[in-house]
Structure 1
Amino acid sequence: MLLVEDDARLALLLEQLLHAEGYDTVLARDGQRALHEGLTQEFDAIILDRGLPVLEGLDVLTRLRDRGVLAPALILSALSNPADRVEGLDRGAEDYLGKPFDIDELLARIRALLRRHRSTVPTLPLPQGALDTSSRTVTTRSGDTVDLSERECGLLERLARRPGQVFERDDLLGAVFPDADDPGVVDTYVHYLRKKLGRDCVKTVRGIGYQLGPLR
């Protein structure tokens, strides 16, 4: 879980509270760090303050959504009048809780947030359209449907869940092809994906590996 809070005392309290409930957390104390963590790691949920140094919380959330990050977000902010809550929800948050808050209510909202998110059909944005991981299909912007094999879908899903991250071949090999020994199998399946979806679906980062092509 990504926890974004600039107040040191409150951040420590929230970390301890979430750890006691069994949640692993990554703490970001400013908006730029939150954006970096959100783009390079995969989180089950984001707990996000608004009044952050460097980059305001809603701007962080907007940029994450624009880059295809789908982790559900709960805004936790002292800006809590109706207009503030409406703005937060319209900018991409799934829930909004004002400060000061009741701990039991916060935990209940987090549990509800995770339940709702896990019950939705996992659809991930792609440069060409959207990937439905449940049916292993890509729906293109023109409305066509492209079927993927299990390994093709696994590779594309890995890239699409962290659209800002560059993956080394060995990382992709271990995550998607655990029974294979040769990293060249990653190159082979990238070729298969490009043949089906176009070269822009996966970007080669020379000397490192691959990342999802740029979202439009």
Structure 2
Amino acid sequence: MSTETAGSRLATAPAAEPAAERPRLLLVEDEPSLADLLTGVLKDAGYEVECAFDGQRALHLGLTRPYDVVVLDLGLPVVDGMDVLRAWRTRSVVVPVLILTARGAVADRVEGLDGGADDFLVKPFGLDELFARLRAVRRQHLDRAAHLPLPDGRRLDLANRTVSDLPANAPGHEAANVKGYVRLSERESALLAALAARPLRAFTRDELRERLFPYAEPAVVAVYVHYLRRKLGRSVIRTVRGVGYQLGGQR
């Protein structure tokens, strides 16, 4: 990153988003000075930033905590960044990833994109380009996530908060179904989307409440799981004993 860009932090960062809407960003960077600088400018730009300074920590955070976007270096201690990325994708971590690295060869770019990255930016870089690429990968991710697959081929339409192709014999079919679609409340849709985005992962009740309903009563997650099962059938959400909830499997 150029000295000119590094010295113009406040002037370069776009207007910050409201605190309640700040996207969660995982920054994986082992160079302390660059990590500190990027953390500052990203926070100025409205991101909620968490840092990992080696590949092992990054792998753990990506598997256990929800993020809206990741900035990932490749040359990391302990576990290489490409190995981290492949492990995330193998385990159905679908968060958008922007690789930020000094490895600029064509072969490195191809490996990164084929390995599951959404974009690739080579050091040194300009902050304006970094912000633009982050916005782009998040837009692309949201476009892809607008319709999330559910068991039995059904799909969740996030924009309209509906589920299509409800089996005719599912509980709640007559009450909820409108022209082939089941309408969900905002909270029902948010909960189902969180589970559908990570279909292989079981979430604890506390994780889901903290992420989706931070100011609600402790029982709120169980209540909305009940509502979703009543509308979509019990198999749509699976209870994982001793853990919490996971998207249901095929019937």
> TM-score by structure 1 length?
0.74
Residue number among 106, 110, 113 corresponding to 1:82 in the alignment: 106
Residue number among 156, 159, 177 corresponding to 2:192 in the alignment: 156
Amino acid at match of 2:226: T
- Comparing both chains, which one has the higher relative contact order based on Cα–Cα distances under 8 Å and sequence gaps of 6 or more? 1
**Aligned in 2, Cα 1:53/1:148: closer, same or farther, shift over 3 Å?**
farther
Residue number among 73, 77, 90 corresponding to 2:97 in the alignment: 73
1:37-48 correspondence to structure 2 within 5 Å = 37-48=61-72
Once residues 170 and 100 of structure 1 are traced to their aligned partners in structure 2, the CA distance between those partners, rounded to angstroms, is 37
Amino acid at match of 1:157: A
Which structure's CA Rg is the greater one? Answer: 2
1:167 aligns with 2:204: yes
Q: 8 Å contact 1:190–1:202 — kept in the other structure?
A: no
Amino acid at match of 1:211: Q
Shift of 1:25: 0.8
Q: In the TM superposition, what whole-angstrom CA distance separates every residue of 1:99-135 from its partner, at most 9, and x where no partner exists?
A: 2222332222223223333344524466766743336
2:8 counterpart residue number: none
**Aligned in 2, Cα 1:17/1:192: closer, same or farther, shift over 3 Å?**
same
1:23 aligns with 2:61: no
Identity %, equivalent residues: 41
Q: Bigger CA drift: 122-131 or 32-41?
A: 122-131
Residue number among 122, 141, 145 corresponding to 1:117 in the alignment: 141
1:132 counterpart residue number: 156
Shift of 1:186: 4.5
Q: 8 Å contact 2:28–2:54 — kept in the other structure?
A: yes
**Aligned in 2, Cα 1:60/1:174: closer, same or farther, shift over 3 Å?**
closer
Shift of 1:18: 0.9
1:61 counterpart residue number: 85
Q: 8 Å contact 2:39–2:49 — kept in the other structure?
A: yes
Once residues 130 and 55 of structure 1 are traced to their aligned partners in structure 2, the CA distance between those partners, rounded to angstroms, is 38
1:99 counterpart residue number: 123
Q: Bigger CA drift: 39-48 or 178-187?
A: 178-187
1:188 counterpart residue number: 226
Shift of 1:169: 6.5
Which ranges in structure 2 are unaligned for 5 or more consecutive residues? Answer: 1-24, 166-179
1:143 counterpart residue number: none
**Aligned in 2, Cα 1:39/1:180: closer, same or farther, shift over 3 Å?**
same
Residue number among 58, 71, 86 corresponding to 1:34 in the alignment: 58
Q: 8 Å contact 1:155–1:172 — kept in the other structure?
A: no
Shift of 1:138: 6.7
Amino acid at match of 1:150: L
Which ranges in structure 1 are unaligned for 5 or more consecutive residues? Answer: 140-145
Q: CA RMSD in A?
A: 3.6
